[in-house]
Chains A and B, each alone.
Chain A
Amino acid sequence: MSTDPEPTKQTDERSLSRKEFLKGVGRSALLIGIGAGGYAWWARITSQFTRRREPVGDARHNYSMAIDIEKCIGCGFCVEACSKENNVPPGHFRTWIERYEVMKDGSVRINSDDGGINGFSDDVRAEDVERAFFVPKLCNHCTDSPCTQVCPVGATFKTEDGVVLVDYDWCIGCRYCIQACPYGSRFWNPVKRTADKCTLCYHRIRKGQVPACVEVCPTGARVFGDLADPESPVSKFMRENATLVMKPHLKTGAKIAYKGMSKEVV
């Protein structure tokens, strides 16, 4: 607080001497120089950051997947195919399989060791198990995705054809999206040092192929297609079967539809 009462000299009463005048000119020139240099530097730095992303994808499509839980045998081929196709670092999963065992005593055992990449081995006596099933999981490519909402720089975005992607050249690696995804679909990629997750094999589906996991599934438990096309396999599957999505109460607009969902599924 300015409580000091001591009066100080008035500076504006001083007259300018020649020397001071020259000094003033020199200082001003220096200031202008620093200002101009600083501005040029600033402009150069900012220009690298202000590019805007062009819309990606074709708005006439809306790609999605449906999963028939009753058909999945837990072989884990899809997890392996995904990890090879997409170079997924070990210990992280773009897709994974969960095994549910409802025991005779009513308890539920859930596991997904190594994401199910090596299949599952028996760990309890078969006669103690009442019912067992496998649930393949992946990013739900939510239409109102919380991950996209929270990304501070827009590096996570939705394509025009309904796929949620991460721009690895744009992601600053804050991991907010990993926190925001209610499904655990995202992971930290230690090689790219960015967030990462399932892309529905965007590089393949743009060429008319199906995602790698769909291609290798021996039982056809994964159905891929274009929701905008009523004749595509996924549209037909969802018409003909009762399906549910994961955590519908969170209103994320999760797209991946499951047939044969049971209340044990988390």
Chain B
Amino acid sequence: MDLGMLLAETSGYVLPNEKELQWSVLIVLYPYLTGLVAGAFILASLVRVFNSKPVAPVYRLALLTALAFLICAPMPLIGHLGHPERAFQIMATPHLSSAMAMFGFVYAWYLMAVLLLEIYFDYRKEMVAWAQSSRGLKRLLYTVLTLGVMDTSEKAVRFDDRAGRFITIIGIPSAALLHGYVGFIFGSVKGNPWWSSVLMPLIFLLSAIVSGIAAVLVIYMAINWYRRQPHDMKCLNAIGRYLMFALIFDLSLEALDVVHRMYEAGEWFEILGLLGSGYLYYTIFGIQFFLGGIFPLVNLALAQFLKASDATRQRVYFFSGLLVLIGVLCMRWNVVIGGQLFSKSLQGLTTYRLELVGGEGALVAIGVLFLPLAILFVLAKILPPWKAHEEARA
């Protein structure tokens, strides 16, 4: 079953081995998920390193969101391999000239050295308290999570805080690396003019920040509704402002990329022009730029400057966040799928059939997209991210 959006098969001259696309919708999700990780983490570090007090209520939520998405990030990759059972070779016998070979290391570093450690130091004191106030399995769980360090003296807690700050400082370049390098995987393919660009890692990074902030914003608001808690408007306003600034940078950079390509007009100009004005027109200009970029940007700016009421702002924030999330997903689609829709002969175009069912179909993709939310739900049960704040407020 097809989603019906695909009419022609190929047009012009497509090399005979290019009749099928190599990277499916699963590979669209991979940069999307890692982008959300990097973005959510960078939002969290605003609290720690830059001392952005108003964002503090989402600090822990942002960390847990990053973790939930990071756990899922390798799934589409491994699922797409022809030999998933050999996946471990990427770490055991990495080929050092390959950008992709770095995946295992960057991933492990980010998971173990940054995210898990930061969460550990941030929660340790409370985990000790939770362990001591519960019994049975729950007690065991929290005791294991503290790694046996039950010391909650002032000195120990101060150490936790310092260590957390230090890790955040390492974490910011790591998050940039995690996602910049995903951009490099595409940007460094010299045989593909749609991908090959030095701007690619930067564009990936900025759109990642945008999507991560939007994700935390939307999740935070949804959780508040679910728990029937009031929104912290100071916090929402601050996130909305960050989202607005990140969007401005991101859109400028993407526009620069488009202008640069059009001005340079290399040998690929005609075929890429056909792609951008045809098959990808709606997903690039309609969704990525307009619905997921300019439109939320204008709304966020109006909400900031027009002194709108809290209720209006909440609506603006929520829907802008959702639109941005869809826009960035479309951007990943435009890069990954778009880069495979023209022939290396530069003389023809092909189309992509997104199946509904099957291992690389739309249903699986939707599953992979929403699995992190289920994981986040469990994580939030074990390590409630809001306790400290609500207690402090009360």
Which residues of A are at the interface with B, using a C-beta cutoff of 8 A?
Answer: 1-4, 6-12, 45-46, 49-50, 52, 91-93, 96, 98, 110-112, 114-115, 146, 148-154, 170-176, 178-188, 192-194, 250, 252, 266
* Chain B residues, Cβ within 8 Å of A110: 13, 345, 347
Chain A interface: which of B15-23, B175-183, B254-262, B294-302? Answer: B15-23
B93 at the interface (CB under 8 A from A): yes
* Chain B residues, Cβ within 8 Å of A185: 17
Set B100, B126, B152, B347: member contacting A174, Cβ < 8 A:
B100
A152 touches B345 (CB 8 A): no
User: Please, how many angstroms separate the alpha-carbon atoms of A249 and B137 in the complex?
Assistant: 65
Known: A8-B132, A171-B83, A176-B100. Is A1-B189 also a contact (CB below 8 A)? no
* Chain B residues, Cβ within 8 Å of A49: 86, 88-89, 92-93
Mask, B1-45, CB within 8 Å of A = 1, is: 000000000000101111110110000000000000000000000
* Chain A residues, Cβ within 8 Å of B161: 2
- The A/B interface has a contact count, at CB < 8 Å, of 170
Main DSSP-derived SS at the A contact region: loop
How many whole Å from B115's CB to the nearest CB in chain A?
Answer: 16
How many whole Å from A112's CB to the nearest CB in chain B?
Answer: 5
B18 touches A3 (CB 8 A): no
A8 touches B129 (CB 8 A): yes
Known: A111-B13, A146-B190. Is A184-B343 also a contact (CB below 8 A)? yes
Which residues of B are at the interface with A, using a C-beta cutoff of 8 A?
Answer: 13, 15-20, 22-23, 47-48, 56, 59-60, 80-84, 86-90, 92-95, 97-101, 103, 122, 125-126, 128-129, 132, 150-153, 157, 160-161, 185, 188-192, 339-340, 343-347, 388-389, 391-392
How many whole Å from A56's CB to the nearest CB in chain B?
Answer: 16
* Chain B residues, Cβ within 8 Å of A115: 16
User: Please, how many angstroms separate the alpha-carbon atoms of A3 and B48 in the complex?
Assistant: 13
Closest to A264 in B: B347
A171 touches B128 (CB 8 A): no
Closest to B98 in A: A152
B92 touches A149 (CB 8 A): no
B82 touches A172 (CB 8 A): yes
User: Please, how many angstroms separate the alpha-carbon atoms of A110 and B12 in the complex?
Assistant: 8
A188 touches B20 (CB 8 A): yes
Set B47, B97, B344: member contacting A183, Cβ < 8 A:
B344
* Chain A residues, Cβ within 8 Å of B17: 92-93, 96, 184-187
A3 touches B82 (CB 8 A): no
* Chain B residues, Cβ within 8 Å of A152: 90, 94-95, 98, 100-101, 103
Set A148, A153, A182: member contacting B94, Cβ < 8 A:
A153
* Chain B residues, Cβ within 8 Å of A52: 93
How many whole Å from A5's CB to the nearest CB in chain B?
Answer: 9
- Listed residue (B60, B82, B126, B188) with the most chain A CB atoms within 10 angstroms of its CB: B82
